[in-house]
Structure 1
């Protein structure tokens, strides 16, 4: 079924969210491949089709993505690598078009030479989105990643021009090298000029608005987001120049523009930055989901063609991919040797593995797909374009192979298998807040450095320490709630680990200790029943309630469903109870239900304390168990405080006290960040990222007060 624009947009966002959820479980597979697979499944099962047109695809997806990449590309690296970047983006594309086209025609005689040139041209540019989708999970050498990223910003223009003239030669049997060269120069230079002029126009418009006192954050954010779309339209549709070059130029030049809002209007910069993050997140995912949805449509016509065997089609695809890889690797290796021989100082000899990594990272993506799908179904004379299904299949096949081979080979060649840098956590660390981190006196900077997760743990532990030292007995509920919140954050950090065995062990220990606490709850409930503190009806209800909770801890699908039922039922009963027994001006009645909740919490605390006394400090997992027990004790103590003191504050008083102590905790986190940075344990970029996280927490707290 073909879907309309609104339906397609909602479907794409749903599939992007689903793919990114799956990516957190399938950590060995790049998110890009998961998104392609999800799109492919939806296309095959539900027969979904999205009419992919090159024009709107380039405007909607390529323009903002390239603008963002250009804006974030380090300008020093861009200048340092300008020669290899432009060599790869222009000369390598032309070389790939000519040599690739020659060998494709030699291997597949059904494809005329001019059409083979067009196929090689459309496959020559690397896709920036695909490059980042693969590179996010491996630690490539910095220069290789910078080279590939810089090249992918520019090579679309040269590839598309080469494709345009190769297709014109095929359709008309005419080709003018002079016209092609002049067209390329016009599109490149005019595109760059348009990008330069318009990004400055947008910049000065925003300055003018600020000077006029117009500081609407949403307005300024909207203007900033509109920039790449307007620049692309002006360059591509009006000036008939390269929209790609225009938006990349605009993005790169926006780095050098002085911030308008650094002091008095920093909110606009923050909102714009986060808005861009969200847009890029959606567009990146949509590119690969669309790629997956389009694959069946693009490849089905050739697969069902009885004149070409499917085995031969796959062989042709593999050969074309290998030809393009060899050209790219040999070019990179030759360029490395040329640079080495020209160097005036001693430099290490070029390694073939570096050239191989450069070749494998040059994956193809949705830009190739969009371009090849835009090819006409008929010849200029009205006859069917019989080779179209074949070249579409081959292009799509090369896209898939380049992604799959890079996915499998790059982690092996780079010996890096982690998808995110955040996951490099020390296993089973002590949660007690140390005054200093013990490190060797002669440790190097890298050895002194700690991971982001470790730094976040230390921040939370410092906040907990400040809250625990507060002697304000009148604010027990507020302090208990905050300690409970920070302990939950600390618990989540312990679970952020890519090592499946470690995660499974942690979850197993957590479940064992929760079951001990659950048995303690049962003991406390029975004690309250034996002392005739509650009615028989309430006791029976609460014991059923407890049984649901116990079964939910046993694991498996059925218990998990019961756990969900238990959670919903608990919230519903709590709401109904409040509606029956509580009004805004009186204290909570001394009900049987609250007596049982208090008794169960006391029983769980006693059980956990007894288990804690039995722990052996010599045990390998002593620190982990102690951490889980302390977190569980914090949960039950928080529950007790809320039961015993919930009516001592009005809602407004509670919020004011919460804000007061939360700000103290955030100040403690800021102090920890500064200490870690001054001691050389975290980098400036990580320190800034952590400070930004604390600032967001503070902003969220203050906004809730409005």
Structure 2
């Protein structure tokens, strides 16, 4: 009963604090949550003790998994060098140098406690900077660097913290053993996280393949994944659960190509559920921080070695120390990384400002608080953990100083007045206006009430007609792309109303699909033979391309296994190809890789051009055995491939995405209008109309989620 009362109280404080934060937007919500906890501790005499193991599991696992899942993978890979430098080397340097300085500042602390304190202060919270990125003139590279760094330094910082706590509790520390253990539990933790998320991804995709598309079920599976991975990594394999959940989050299904296997409803419910979980967990952490501060202050008042005001002063000095260490590291790194031997510039004002901003933006947040609250109360033998209240107070105060410092100084450095937010407190651009008014349309001339499938097909067809009317010249690739997506849906509706998916070599629905794929593959093979006969491609590239297309042709014509076996075989093949590609690019000479890729691009372009010419010929001759819409879908497939390969693909440009979102939103408004017409004319029931509108709303929310 006491646990339940504590949870209700903390959630109530969190709600009240967040309501207040909406009226004081210039104050970070995290500071208001801390204040709420302080007031509860002072006036309500609230004290909450936490268990180390469950606290790390309940807070660290979901927070870090969510951070890894949402971080843009391309930027993470591009900045892998500086990210690893900041996240590993800087953390170790900060722990060693900072621990020595803290020991000098506070002689009463043992060496292990001093290192523990600095280690737990190492993880940074990037959301403070990300939240003002749109209004502040912070360099994109710095934003991505801080974000990527936070993923890894959360892991490395907490591992160092774990060793510091263990040394304090047991009184034993070996640098050699700690170093070997550090690399072992980190590498094996990463491997364990990668394998487990690969299994979970396969299970989720298999459930979709089997038609299990319950959005609540998939959201629950997604939520429990980090807890299971963290628990198995720590308790079963005795490796770093922190590293495991970070790697799992990075490798979790999040790419646009794979996410498309999930319906808009599943993606929406899962995304909003994660928002709720992270929002609550981060709020609870800062409320608990506020509750602990008065307790720590009370202990310090009766401490003869140090006063409360002295501890506050030390906290400020330690925060400045962390900023300076980070600044010096960033300046040295950027100096030697940016300058060549022939053009060495020691001082640059631009670089100075950049590194100063980097130092200040390394704010401490939820992960630091989770770590410091998990410090055990006792050590071996039953004695109290030395200076626990002092460490808790200093860490808490440094967090507050870093929050306030970022709030005040970042806008000054960037000449911006944007508010600052932290993990779990985001600013969403959901103010997209949608026009529900559309032209009156003539509906089907029938007195029979349409079921959901018939009505959905009719609405999609009318929407396509409307979009085609707006794209009369058929020259706007944005309209063509959106039309192709609608045709995908209609094509799959006609085959299976509960399993929509775009065309795929691995997902042939009927004879018409197989016939068109066979025609297109034959064209690609002809193009490959022509290139090879003219000696424009290497023998290795020729053999690889022919083998791949031949395999596709066999799989389309003949399926030797059950649907489940076929799914898992394909899943293993995709994984194998991904691993092989990584190994090939890592160990083969760069010149050979470049040549092979160039030949592969020639093959893809020539094959797409030959197949596209054949498809236009079929369309022109009104091929009677193939549906017109299906030919159009295949044309768009090869046109998109050509645009991508020839550098004309605009799908990833901000301009293309912006225009595409506008067209998609307008198309949704057309759908709403057609559904309303069907309902008013008695062609569909209210329940059918509500189902169709709900699907439209889900699609619209997915667009808004992508915008966020």
TM above 0.5, yes or no, is yes
Q: 1:693, 1:37 → 2: CA distance?
A: 45
Q: Which residue of 2 aligns with 1:62?
A: 60
- Cα distance in 1 between the residues matched to 2:665 and 2:59: 28
Once the two structures are superposed, residues 149-193 of structure 1 have per-residue CA deviations (whole angstroms, 9 ceiling, x without a partner) of 111111122222322333444455543121111111111111111
Matched, 1:353 2:353: yes
**2:415 corresponds to:** 415
- Which residue of the partner structure matches residue 608 of structure 2? none
Instruction: Report the Cα offset of residue 82 of structure 1.
Output: 0.5
Tell me: CA distance 1:690–1:402, structure 2 relative to 1, closer, same or farther (3 Å).
Answer: farther
The whole-number CA distance in structure 2 between the counterparts of 1:321 and 1:234 is 36
Aligned counterpart, 2:310 = 312
Instruction: State the partner residue of 1:702.
Output: 690
Are the counterparts in 1 of residues 296 and 390 from structure 2 also a CA contact under 8 Å? no
Q: Give the 3 Å change call, closer, same or farther, for CA 377–10 of structure 1 in structure 2.
A: closer
Task: Return the offset for 1:343.
Answer: 8.9
Alignment of 1:215-234 (within 5 A): 215-234=213-232
CA distance in 1, matches of 2:292, 2:667: 42
Give TM-score, length-normalised by structure 2: 0.59
Identify if the C-alpha distance between structure 1 residues 164 and 282 changes in structure 2 by more than 3 Å, giving closer, same or farther. closer
Contact 1:137 1:420 in 2 (8 A): no
Q: Report the CA distance between 1:62 and its aligned residue.
A: 2.0
Of 678-687 and 46-55, deviating more is: 678-687
Aligned 8 A contact 1:72 1:255 in 2 = no
Q: Provide the residue aligned with 2:148 in structure 1.
A: 150
Deviations 1:405-441 (A, max 9, x none): 11111111111212399xxxxxxxxxxxxxxxxxxxx
Partner residue, 1:684: 657
Q: Which structure 2 residue ranges, 5 or more long, are not aligned?
A: 422-427, 442-455, 480-649, 676-686, 695-708
For residues 556-576 of structure 1, what are the alpha-carbon distances to aligned partners after superposition, in whole Å with 9 as ceiling and x for unaligned? xxxxxxxxxxxxxxxxxxxxx
Alpha-carbon distance change, 62 to 211 in structure 1, aligned in 2, over 3 angstroms:
same
For the aligned residues, what is the CA RMSD?
A: 4.3
The 10-residue stretch of structure 1 (347-356 or 109-118) with the greater mean CA deviation from structure 2? 347-356
- Between 1:104-113 and 1:337-346, the stretch displaced more is 337-346
Q: Distance in 2 between matches of 1:668 and 1:296?
A: 67
1:370 equivalent in structure 2: 370
Cα distance in 2 for partners of 1:200, 1:400 equals: 39
In structure 1, runs of 5+ residues without a counterpart are: 422-450, 471-658
Alignment correspondent of 1:481: none
Q: How does 1:608-687 map to 2 (within 5 A)?
A: 684=657
Q: Alpha carbons of 1:55 and 1:26: their partners in 2 closer, same or farther (altered >3 Å)?
A: same
Counterparts in 2 of 1:180 and 1:130: CA distance versus 1, 3 Å: farther
TM, length-normalised to structure 1: 0.59
| Distance in 2 of aligned mates of 1:45 and 1:137 | 39
From the superposition, tell whether residues 375 and 217 of structure 1 become closer, same or farther in structure 2 (CA, over 3 Å).
Answer: closer
In structure 2, which of residues 180, 183, 192 is the aligned counterpart of residue 182 of structure 1? 180
Structure with bigger RCO (C-alpha 8 Å, 6+ apart):
2
Aligned-partner Cα distance in 1 for 2:272–2:466: 22
Structure 1 residue 213: deviation in Å?
Answer: 3.6
1: CA distance, partners of 2:666 / 2:162: 47
- Aligned pairs for 1:124-135 (under 5 A) are 124-127=122-125
1:291-329 deviations in whole A, cap 9, x for unaligned? 223322333311343542333222211111111111111
In the alignment, is the contact (CA less than 8 A) between 2:285 and 2:370 conserved in 1? no
SS at match of 1:106: helix
Residues 670/17 of structure 1: CA separation in 2 closer, same or farther (3 Å cut): farther
Deviations 1:630-654 (A, max 9, x none): xxxxxxxxxxxxxxxxxxxxxxxxx
Shift of 1:386: 4.6
The 5 Å alignment of 1:544-563 reads: none
Deviation at 1:270, TM superposition (A): 2.8
* Partner residue, 1:447: none
Residues 137, 386 of structure 1: CA spacing in aligned structure 2 closer, same or farther, 3 A cutoff?
farther
Give the Å deviation of 1:196.
0.9
Partner of 1:18: 16
CA distance 1:690–1:23, shift in 2 (3 Å): farther
